[in-house]
Amino acid sequence: MAKKIIIAGGGTGGHIFPAIAIANALKKADKTIALLFVGAKGKMEMEKVPQAGYAIEGLDIAGFNRSSLIKNIALPFKLMKSFLQVRKIVNRFKPNAVIGVGGYSSFPVLRYAQQKGIPTFIHEANSFAGKTNILLGKRAVMIFTGGDGMEKFFPPEKIQVSGNPVRDVIVNSRISREEALRLFGLNPQKKTILITGGSLGAKSINEAIAAHIAEFGKNNLQLIWQTGKLFADQARQLTQGMENIWTNDFIGSMENAFAAADVVISRSGAMSVAELCVVKQAVIFVPFPFAAEDHQTVNASRLAEKRAALVIKDRDVKDKLTERAIALALNDTERQELKNNIGQLAITNAAEAIATEVLKAI
């Protein structure tokens, strides 16, 4: 009889894309397996998961809003409703296992599965585990981590250091720099900087680039600028008529953007770091300062210590980012050193390792 697995979680690309990578690896290992995703209504996963060819059920759930406490009034009711929805989904689908990838929609699914005695597995991408995963980890069969040193969060005997799953399209991309640049309508003869604040954009990075936008053209440089939805219109108006700049709120084929770039400016979420190691890029990380336990700074610092990336603090971006990015783009020797060092940290088989262990355990 075919095995059935639920993959729960989402909210950002950092949760969704690894989840899809794990799903692909499970399908590759066992073609008969039935997979169902569970996410939060209105979030990215409701669009990205079907695009990847998988079914998804949405929960009426929201996370705790730290900036506006009044918006949390309905939270207990949403949580109760989501538990009822989860009960229906799980009892109908009857999974052999549930894998949680983080994001608040993973909590009710794994919690209910654990109450029912269904084996649960967790993938924790970050160097600081989220509170939900710490709680769920006590009853999970296995916890897959992006790196070592996670014993302070989880029972040591349950930890498997798998690395973070990177999308197949990125691992297996063979597109040349010239071909990728033509897809963006840019000139292969010019150095190119890719700016990405993650799937939802990054306000401080966008504002720093906008404030110094003319500097790139003056230095004969091109930009591929992923802004996120909130800054997209402003960026389009600002760059109108500038042939050296491609901008959009989202880049669907990130592998092409990585191939086109000579320098990447990025947040340092665990998945961004994992992908940039695989594509061997010269990177300037700007850690998001409000990430839980400041884990993005930890992620970036680990690479900076190995001379595998540069780091600029979020509070310094307006003054320092553009100047440093231009200097790096124009310095072939420094770029090559960063690329060589970051490439040595790449893990390309994390999804396969997770799929193998899950299937073995169920």
- The predicted-structure confidence for 201-250, as pLDDT tens digits, reads as follows 699 999 999 999 999 999 999 999 999 999 999 999 999 999 999 999 99
Helix axes 332-343, 317-329, angle to 10 degrees: 100
Its domain, for residue 268, covers: 170-343
Cα distance between residue 296 and residue 22, in whole Å: 23
**174 and 321 part of one domain:** yes
**100 and 152 part of one domain:** yes
CA-based nearest residue to 17, from 255, 176, 193? 255
SS3 for 285? strand
**357 and 275 part of one domain:** no
pLDDT band at 79 (very low <50, low <70, confident <90, very high): confident
Q: How many domains does the chain have?
A: 2
**67 and 24 part of one domain:** yes
- CATH of residue 226's domain is 3.40.50.2000
SS3 for 361? helix
Cα distance between residue 223 and residue 218, in whole Å: 12
pLDDT value, residue 72: 53
- The predicted-structure confidence for 129-168, as pLDDT tens digits, reads as follows 888 899 999 999 999 999 888 999 999 999 999 999 998 8
pLDDT value, residue 83: 86
Cβ burial, residue 252 (10 Å; 0-12/13-18/19+): exposed
**244 and 198 part of one domain:** yes
**177 and 314 part of one domain:** yes
Cα distance between residue 41 and residue 72, in whole Å: 17
**54 and 70 part of one domain:** yes
Query: Taking a C-beta distance cutoff of 8 angstroms, is the pair 309, 338 a contact?
Result: yes
**195 and 143 part of one domain:** no
The sign of the CA dihedral 218, 320, 229, 124 is positive
Model confidence, pTM: 0.85
**202 and 146 part of one domain:** no
Question: Could you give the count of Cα atoms lying within 13 Å of 354 in the half-sphere of its Cβ?
Answer: 37
**278 and 204 part of one domain:** yes
Q: What is the DSSP string of 83-110?
A: HHHHHHHHHHH--SEEEE-SSTTHHHHH
66 pLDDT higher than 60: no
Query: Taking a C-beta distance cutoff of 8 angstroms, is the pair 270, 146 a contact?
Result: yes
62 pLDDT higher than 70: no
**142 and 264 part of one domain:** no
**199 and 81 part of one domain:** no
Cα distance between residue 261 and residue 214, in whole Å: 19
Cα distance between residue 42 and residue 56, in whole Å: 12
CA-based nearest residue to 194, from 154, 273, 153, 247? 247
pLDDT value, residue 127: 83
**Selected residue with higher pLDDT from 199 and 203:** 203
